[in-house]
Amino acid sequence: MAEFFSMGGYGFYIWCSFAMALLLLVIEPVWLMRQHKVLLRQLARMSGINDGGES
């Protein structure tokens, strides 16, 4: 296991690259999903459908 992560001594370079890829490719969709939810809620409030309805 440790041998796998050391990648023949190049672990630092390999994992820094893969970690950045993973980080960005997870953050972007999560952020976009949140943004969309907020927008839908905003539009619903604007159209007045939720006024007086369930909270």
Residue 52 found at the interface with another protein (CB under 8 A) = no
Q: Which residues contact 50 (CB under 8 A, 6 or more apart)?
A: 44
Indicate whether 2 belongs to the interface with another protein (CB under 8 A): no
Return left, alpha or beta for 47; rule: phi > 0 is left, psi -120 to 50 is alpha, else beta.
alpha
Residue 2 or residue 24: which is nearer to another protein going by CB? 24
Write out the binding residues for another protein, residues 8-37 only, by CB under 8 A: 8-10, 13-14, 16-18, 20-21, 24-25, 28-29, 32-33, 35-36
